[in-house]
Structure 1
Amino acid sequence: MNDTKRRRFLRATLAGAGLTLAGTAAGQETTTKSGETTTEGDETTTTPTTDAGLVTVTSNESVGATVDRIEEDIEDNDDLILVTTVDHARNAENAGLDLRPTRLILFGNPNLGTQLMAVSQTAGIDLPQKLLVWADEDGSTNVTYNDPRWLAERHDIEGHDDVLNTISNALEALATGR
């Protein structure tokens, strides 16, 4: 099974388990008569902030447009595998609850993640990598991810600065669109 078919299978399986995937909730998107989704805004901007092992950047795009851009960037990178995108807001709606737009993108690079798990298999609880794209109370869009240095500390991973730097740079590039 090739990667594209595997991704479709995983998405269908998760949907069958009651999870709704990306592309099903409206952020600040509009749909044209032809069925195309359009969004307003620019690339992700601002300097990343770190809080308790989390890095958050602000996007000038809607949640939907930000997710679409990140997914496309992952799909275009031969080293990365997009596992799935979970639409937490849609799942909340299906449970009769309200949640601002919130989507979790799961993806990874087995060549890098395996190196970390070989040192400490508990790192597997934090892998594959995740980017959380969410709307703040004021309507701004944020992208949050785990700081790889914090994960290394959490799992007692030492001596892999090159891997951690590569992961950190990739996460920042995906989150900011740079």
Structure 2
Amino acid sequence: MRPFYGLGIAVLGGLLSQPVLAERDNGIEHVISDSAYSTVVRQLNTALEDNGLNIMATVNHGQNAANNDLELPPTMTFIFGNPKVGTPMMQCQGSVALDLPQKMVVRETDDGVRLEWNDPHYLAERHGLEGCDLPLGNVADVLRDVAESAAQ
């Protein structure tokens, strides 16, 4: 297992194989996995589908770089959503369409395969959604669950 620095806690026993959830950083949440990149990508596809999230597109940044004689570690963006959740957010404040549909990036790093996504609470703050009755906690939980499932 690769070491995880800056967590401030000791991870013991069977927990060593579990994905690590990191603190928020500018509204970007992330999980790091020790699984192979291709495994995480496959598991992310499955986790999104299992949670009723429509995959609208994927962008294979690594392949796009290679097609132009550039180097980039394997990196892919998944663009997905659920109109029943995203539409009320856009009805509340149209500018949130800049950040929707939701995205999750999978990229290979020196620390493992990293999954990154926008925290919906951060998006609510960014776009002034505080006055709207939105299930942001539920959305955050689903995104975390999807990432953790993919990272196993």
- Give matches, 1:53-64, under 5 Å: 53-64=27-38
Q: Are positions 1:175 and 2:150 aligned together?
A: no
2:72 counterpart (99, 113, 117)? 99
Q: Are positions 1:155 and 2:102 aligned together?
A: no
Residue in structure 1 matched with residue 116 of structure 2 by the alignment: 144
1:76 counterpart (29, 50, 62)? 50
- Give matches, 1:122-133, under 5 Å: 122-133=95-106
Distance 1:156 1:55 in 2: 20
> Which runs of no fewer than 5 residues in structure 1 stay unpaired?
1-42
- Would you say the 8 A contact 2:59–2:77 is kept in 1? yes
> Which runs of no fewer than 5 residues in structure 2 stay unpaired?
1-16
- Would you say the 8 A contact 2:92–2:132 is kept in 1? no
Structure 1 counterpart of 2:31, one-letter code: V
Distance 1:139 1:153 in 2: 30
TM-score by length of 2: 0.82
- Would you say the 8 A contact 1:100–1:134 is kept in 2? yes
Q: How many residues align?
A: 135
Q: Secondary structure at the match of 1:51?
A: coil
Residue in structure 1 matched with residue 62 of structure 2 by the alignment: 89
Q: Identify which of structures 1 and 2 has the higher relative contact order when contacts are C-alpha pairs closer than 8 Å and 6+ apart.
A: 2
- Give matches, 1:33-72, under 5 Å: 45-72=19-46
Deviation at 1:162, TM superposition (A): 4.9
Deviation at 1:160, TM superposition (A): 4.4
C-alpha root-mean-square deviation of aligned residues, in Å?
1.9
Deviation at 1:140, TM superposition (A): 1.1
Deviation at 1:50, TM superposition (A): 1.2
TM-score by length of 1: 0.70
Deviation at 1:116, TM superposition (A): 0.6
